[in-house]
Structure 1
Amino acid sequence: MIRTMALALVAFIAAAPVQAQQLDKISIVVFGPPSLGAFLPPVIKARKLDEKNGLAITFEERTPDAYTAQFNSGEFKVGGSAALLTVGLADLRGVKVAYLFNLFDYWGGVVTSRSEINAIKDLEGKDIAAAKGTTNYVMFDWFARQLGADTAKFSVVNTATPGLVGYALADRATAVQLWEPAYTTLHAKKPGVRLLDLKIKESWQQFAGSTSIPYLGLAAHLDWIQQNKPLIPRLYAAYKEAATWVAANPDEAAILIAAKGSSDDRKAIAELVRANDRLGMHVRSAGDLGPEIKAVYNAGKTLGFLSSEPSPVTIYRDPM
């Protein structure tokens, strides 16, 4: 009996490293917080949703410009802050990539503390702080034009996403263009800041016949996709389960998402999750969003951001 138990214990110890080695490793580059790309990764890791789905995910944080350079070069084969327009632009420049699935629909905003600024058009001839290298700014440009603003007359002070909240807190620019969760973080610290109305839903409904705007998700290089197709549904499952848990447990999720924030920051994040109007958390496979993705590409073409229609292969259509 003792010998049998000893053999069983040896077998268990020997098997443990093997089981750990069976996790498929994926390195994913994402924007640093506060950003949508950094919203779900701490939840995935804390709740071990990657391991649950047979994966060992390493999230590597980068600034927007560094993210684009390192993902497009293939230094990172999978990007977790993949803005849809960036995927389309990469394709037109010869970088073979595909949008795997959507995580968040578009929302962007412009905030100001200046009493003389009451509409987007009022920013003509004024300075605006923005992460100009992001497609959130490109989409903002499109929406601003729909409201009659000449965005060429904006004096854009380019900064990395973590610096946007600081600009707004210090009132260092006439206005600041940002998105979630940065806006919620800012509003918790500076409740008096005003949000200018971009009329996003109205403009998009008129342009695309829909209110769904696929914006940010996961993308990967085509060579990686061909070599790792069985991992993609599991990767999707990890993110989908994280989003479902966040929606059901906003207070607990806020502790993970705003780990370095104050109690007020976490309360604001929890309220953001509950409302979901600005957060736009919407996990769907790219194949289920084909018409909506093409509408975003068309918006990019009207701006001249995209010179032509990106390849159909940029929309990953295999089932999840």
Structure 2
Amino acid sequence: MMKPVSITSALVAASLMALLPGQALAQDALEEVSIVVFGPPSLGAFLPPVIKAQGLDTRHGLDISFVERTPDAYTAQFNSGEFRVGGSAALLTVGLAEARGVQVSYLFNLFDFWGAVVTANDAVQSLSDIEGRELAAAAGTTNYVMFNWFAREMGVDTSNVSVVNTATPGLVGYAMANRADAIQLWEPAYTSLVAQRPDIRTLDLNIPEAWSAFAGSTNIPYLGVAAHVSWIEENEALVPRLYSAYKDAADWVAANPDEAAAIIAGQGTAEYRDSLGELIRNNERLGLNVQWAGDVDEEIRKVYEAGESIGFLPSTPTDETIYSGAR
């Protein structure tokens, strides 16, 4: 004899049957976006794990796949169009891509510039002491290019420095093993290194003073999200959603530094997680600053000017490289 089904059970079952098709439709409605980023530790890899862990892409109707590449591979595969959206898009590489015939646009900023040179060599006490010595750096990145500009502003002849080029993750290893006289790196690799080697010294680059004198501002738009113009034209409605996913992630990180640090650090040590938490709270070195490109266009043009002045950019990038479309 069959047990009678209660009215409550029947209503629950009916609700579930009504809900499941809706859920399927919601999943089908997600727009897939593939974004290439640098591998960690890097700024481009800072917000993606938070976006995925908190479901901030699906909240805005997106299903984002973050694909990690080394800096050189990133540039090659983004410029070729293999990936049409880049989440480790440094401004100067956007400008250089256009000079090489690749039509791309900087959608929005994520981080302002900060970089450092560290050393354990007693003979290297100031930045000028790196002349005639070895400097380990990810020379394919625009963080290195910007460092080059600041070094020249301080009167350092960088042509007299022997640069040992390595991928971003290798910089911490060079510093840990003292394999070069000095190492040029940035966040979050800098925090990772200092957590492991608190005795290492940081050389002054005079960043706020030099940039303020040059640009009349302390804001240095540096790294964000860029896309091929053809992708933007085909997916204009997705751009505000993409911005919102990143902006929500930045806001959540700022409001929950310790939880965010645990997500970003992954399998890192407790010391590294604690350091990341302090880095987020301070934000001076992290420079987390999510803004539409069109809202910081004057600062962007000063970054272009700096890149041109040291010969990295062959000409001034056009307005098309600074996104000012629908928001």
Could you tell me the TM-score, scaled by structure 1's length? 0.98
Once the two structures are superposed, residues 118-151 of structure 1 have per-residue CA deviations (whole angstroms, 9 ceiling, x without a partner) of: 1111111100100000000000000000000000
Q: Give the corresponding residue for 1:92.
A: 99
Q: Give the corresponding residue for 1:207.
A: 214
Q: Equivalents in 1 of 2:13, 2:252: separation in Å?
A: 40
Q: Give the corresponding residue for 1:112.
A: 119
The 5 A counterparts of 1:131-142 are 131-142=138-149
The code of the aligned residue for 2:310 comes to L
Deviation at 1:16, TM superposition (A): 2.2
Q: Equivalents in 1 of 2:33, 2:43: separation in Å?
A: 19
The code of the aligned residue for 1:37 comes to G
Partner-residue secondary structure (3-state), 2:183: strand
Q: Give the corresponding residue for 1:158.
A: 165
Partner-residue secondary structure (3-state), 2:163: strand
Q: Equivalents in 1 of 2:326, 2:211: separation in Å?
A: 28
Q: Give the corresponding residue for 1:78.
A: 85
Say if 2:275 is the partner of 1:275.
Answer: no
Say if 2:128 is the partner of 1:121.
Answer: yes
Deviation at 1:15, TM superposition (A): 2.7
Segments of 4+ moved more than 3 angstroms: 1-9
Q: Give the corresponding residue for 1:37.
A: 44
The 5 A counterparts of 1:121-200 are 121-200=128-207
The code of the aligned residue for 1:223 comes to S
The code of the aligned residue for 2:159 comes to A
Q: Give the corresponding residue for 1:65.
A: 72
Once the two structures are superposed, residues 30-54 of structure 1 have per-residue CA deviations (whole angstroms, 9 ceiling, x without a partner) of: 0000000000001000000001111
The code of the aligned residue for 2:24 comes to P
The code of the aligned residue for 1:313 comes to E
Q: Equivalents in 1 of 2:243, 2:231: separation in Å?
A: 15
The sequence identity of aligned pairs, in percent, is: 62
Say if 2:264 is the partner of 1:257.
Answer: yes
The code of the aligned residue for 1:208 comes to A
Check the 8 A contact 1:286/1:315 in 2, yes or no.
Answer: yes
Deviation at 1:19, TM superposition (A): 1.3
Q: Give the corresponding residue for 2:60.
A: 53
Q: Equivalents in 2 of 1:56, 1:215: separation in Å?
A: 26
Partner-residue secondary structure (3-state), 1:216: strand
Deviation at 1:302, TM superposition (A): 0.3
Check the 8 A contact 1:287/1:319 in 2, yes or no.
Answer: no
Could you tell me the TM-score, scaled by structure 2's length? 0.96
Q: Equivalents in 1 of 2:93, 2:286: separation in Å?
A: 20
Partner-residue secondary structure (3-state), 1:316: coil
20, 24, 33: which one aligns with 1:26: 33
Say if 2:288 is the partner of 1:246.
Answer: no
Deviation at 1:10, TM superposition (A): 2.8
Q: Give the corresponding residue for 2:3.
A: none
Q: Equivalents in 1 of 2:52, 2:13: separation in Å?
A: 34
Q: Equivalents in 1 of 2:326, 2:275: separation in Å?
A: 35
Q: Equivalents in 2 of 1:272, 1:9: separation in Å?
A: 45
Once the two structures are superposed, residues 209-241 of structure 1 have per-residue CA deviations (whole angstroms, 9 ceiling, x without a partner) of: 111100000000000000111111111011111
Q: Equivalents in 1 of 2:14, 2:252: separation in Å?
A: 40
Q: 1:6 to 1:136 in 2, by over 3 A?
A: same
Structure with bigger gyration radius? 2
Check the 8 A contact 1:110/1:196 in 2, yes or no.
Answer: yes
The code of the aligned residue for 1:311 comes to T
227, 233, 237: which one aligns with 1:220: 227
Length, aligned pairs only = 320
The code of the aligned residue for 2:101 comes to G
Say if 2:317 is the partner of 1:310.
Answer: yes
Deviation at 1:260, TM superposition (A): 1.6
The code of the aligned residue for 2:73 comes to A
Q: 1:180 to 1:4 in 2, by over 3 A?
A: closer
Gaps of 5+ in 1: none
Say if 2:290 is the partner of 1:290.
Answer: no
Q: 1:188 to 1:6 in 2, by over 3 A?
A: closer
Check the 8 A contact 2:134/2:161 in 1, yes or no.
Answer: yes
